[in-house]
């Protein structure tokens, strides 16, 4: 049976009807129409009255197991019923062969004997609370949407388009990109929505309906690249973590609101359970307005995946060495300073009104130390001196004490000693009434060989 027959036989609902009950001819204009939508409820609310945002949308979501043995009996039955429905749709009595229908490289037919099939089907079931008919309708609509969306993008079928996407490049690549993984090995996608505060970039991206469509298609291709990093095996990696930087987001422009609503709807309807968490960083005072905009369009299950991360809290999900420098971490493009080196990343909490120091031992003359240091919070004072082991030698100032402001990227410093001693990194928080978090790592290469040490508190 052809894909078209499958879709027709299931009575699939066009993508446009999923989000707005529009005609099928408008299928590829969903986000264009969303971009012109106004959400008066969000504008009319007293934002200062929405005091529950932090508590309401701190993540309570825990990723479920994809092992059949871990499912409830009712869930096992729903999965089996779902598979039987799919088999019935793929093959009719008149046909001897079933068409190979797949999503993200995973066959949907149980007859293929692929362990990943259950993982994909469970995503659709969970997105629809294990209601088999609704999950089946969602699956068919997703296949239909993908066929229309990708073919409209390049005039080619989905597989050819996805391959071509790997060659795609955009000036937005530095704002929306896949980089590294979280502590549970989910690939991470960074989305800097605040970049659109730049008027030229905003107009270039959202200036008309065609530009909006081009942005959404490009953003979908970024997502598809991330999905290629997933293995979809039980116990493996089957979802992406998203980090959304909303500092200075031009939320009150209708195109921006429309794109956010359209993309959230597209993601929810066609990429079920492919996002494990949505982490929001640099949230502005008006974030409650943004939440008011998107809240009516997302399910309770998706709301449970939203995390508001205060400065430094992103490290709870992603290790500092994997967090980009603009978010206080140490990851930067083409950086090999710590490549192949065994080291640890340490965190030092400094109470208000206190001082702390970090010591790096340089036991041999000619030793070279490299360290990264990031400060999370308001201003502190930072300085570095070298204290020789020999009592007759003088201490020397490596970095004069200066204030570090919260907008600065992490400090990277290299120092080579001419005699044994130690580096003393001083962090002064005496002028503040708030606790600060300092994250750091270092390595030491001793001359003539390369002996590496790590931080010890």
Query: Which homologous superfamily is 330-445 in?
Result: GOLD domain (2.60.120.680)
> Within 10 Å of residue 8's Cβ, how many Cβ atoms?
13
CA distance 54 to 31: 29
pTM over 0.85: no
The answer to whether 420 and 339 are in contact (CB under 8 A) is: no
CA distance 355 to 431: 10
Read off the pLDDT of each residue in 322-341 and give the average, rounded to a whole number: 91
- Predicted confidence at residue 297, as pLDDT, reads 87
The answer to whether 181 and 321 are in contact (CB under 8 A) is: no
Helix (H, G, I), strand (E, B) or coil at 441: strand
Top mean pLDDT of 3-12, 39-48, 91-100, 193-202 is at 193-202
Q: Is the pLDDT of residue 41 over 60?
A: no
To the question of domain 3-318 being in CATH 3.40.50.620, the answer is no
What letter does residue 42 receive in the DSSP assignment? H
Q: Over the range 188-198, which residues count as b (16 or more CB within 10 Å of their CB) and which as e?
A: bbbbbbbbbee
Top mean pLDDT of 48-57, 137-146, 299-308 is at 137-146
**111 vs 64, 87, 223, 238, 260, CA distance in Å?**
25, 9, 29, 21, 39
Query: What is the chain's mean pLDDT, rounded?
Result: 81
User: What are residue 383's phi and psi, to 5 degrees?
Assistant: -155, 160
Closest Cα partner for 347 from 378, 313, 309? 313
- Predicted confidence at residue 26, as pLDDT, reads 39
Read off the pLDDT of each residue in 89-96 and give the average, rounded to a whole number: 61
Closest Cα partner for 374 from 345, 396, 343? 345
Q: Calculate the dihedral angle through the C-alpha atoms of 166, 146, 181, 373, rounding to the nearest 10 degrees.
A: 70
Of 11-25, 50-64, 79-93, 288-302, the poorest mean pLDDT is in 11-25
What are residue 330's DSSP bridge partners? none
Q: Is the pLDDT of residue 8 over 70?
A: no
User: What are residue 440's phi and psi, to 5 degrees?
Assistant: -150, 160
Write the pLDDT tens digit of every residue in 399-452: 999 998 766 789 999 999 999 999 999 999 998 888 889 999 999 998 765 444
Encoded tokens for 329: 């971490």
Q: Over the range 136-157, which residues count as b (16 or more CB within 10 Å of their CB) and which as e?
A: bbbbbbbbbbbebbbeebeeee
What are residue 106's DSSP bridge partners? 103
Encoded tokens for 26: 């408008």
Helix (H, G, I), strand (E, B) or coil at 396: strand
- Predicted confidence at residue 30, as pLDDT, reads 38
Domain locations in the chain?
Answer: 3-318, 330-445
**Using CA of residue 193, residue 277, residue 44, residue 209, what is the dihedral sign?**
positive
- Predicted confidence at residue 448, as pLDDT, reads 67
- Tokens 């949308």 identify what position? 57
- Tokens 């871990």 identify what position? 70
Largest interatomic CA distance in the chain: 96
């Amino acid at each position: 049976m052809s894909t078209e027959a499958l879709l027709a036989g299931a009575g699939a609902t066009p993508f446009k009807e999923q989000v707005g009950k529009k005609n099928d001819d408008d299928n590829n204009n969903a986000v264009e129409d969303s971009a012109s939508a106004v959400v008066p409820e969000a504008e009319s609310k007293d934002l200062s009255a929405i005091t529950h945002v932090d508590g309401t949308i701190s993540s309570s979501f825990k990723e479920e197991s994809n092992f059949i043995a871990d499912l409830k009996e009712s869930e096992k039955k729903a999965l089996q019923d779902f598979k039987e429905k799919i088999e019935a749709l793929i093959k009719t009595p008149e046909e001897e062969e079933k068409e190979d229908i797949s999503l993200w490289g995973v066959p949907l037919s149980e007859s293929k004997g692929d362990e990943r099939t259950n993982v994909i089907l469970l995503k659709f079931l969970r997105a629809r609370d294990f209601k088999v008919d609704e999950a089946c309708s969602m699956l068919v609509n997703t296949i239909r949407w993908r066929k229309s969306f990708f073919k409209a993008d390049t005039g080619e079928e989905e597989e050819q388009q996805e391959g071509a996407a790997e060659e795609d490049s955009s000036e937005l690549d530095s704002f929306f990109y896949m980089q590294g993984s979280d502590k549970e090995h989910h690939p991470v996608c960074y989305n800097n929505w605040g970049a659109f505060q730049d008027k030229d970039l905003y107009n270039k991206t959202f200036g008309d309906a065609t530009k909006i469509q081009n942005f959404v298609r490009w953003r979908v291709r970024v997502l598809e690249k991330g999905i290629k990093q997933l293995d979809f095996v039980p116990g493996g990696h089957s979802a992406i973590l998203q980090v959304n930087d909303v500092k200075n987001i031009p939320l009150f422009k209708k195109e921006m609101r429309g794109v956010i609503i359209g993309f959230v709807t597209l993601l929810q309807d066609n990429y079920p359970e492919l996002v494990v968490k949505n982490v929001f960083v640099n949230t502005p005072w008006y974030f409650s307005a943004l939440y008011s905009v998107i809240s009516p369009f997302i399910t309770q299950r998706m709301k449970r995946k939203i995390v508001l991360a205060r400065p430094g809290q992103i490290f709870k999900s992603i290790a500092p060495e994997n967090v980009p420098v603009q978010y206080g971490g140490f990851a930067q493009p083409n950086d090999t300073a710590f490549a192949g080196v065994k080291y640890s990343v340490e965190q030092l909490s400094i109470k208000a009104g206190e001082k702390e120091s970090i010591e790096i031992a340089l036991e041999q003359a000619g030793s070279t130390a490299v360290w990264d240091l990031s400060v999370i919070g308001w201003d502190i004072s930072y300085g570095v001196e070298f204290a020789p082991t020999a009592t007759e030698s003088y201490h020397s100032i490596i970095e004069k004490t200066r204030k570090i402001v919260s907008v600065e990227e992490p400090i990277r410093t290299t120092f080579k000693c001419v005699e044994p001693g130690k580096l003393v990194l001083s962090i002064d928080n005496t002028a503040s009434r708030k606790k600060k978090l300092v994250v750091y790592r270092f390595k030491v290469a001793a001359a003539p060989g390369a002996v590496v040490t790590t931080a010890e508190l």
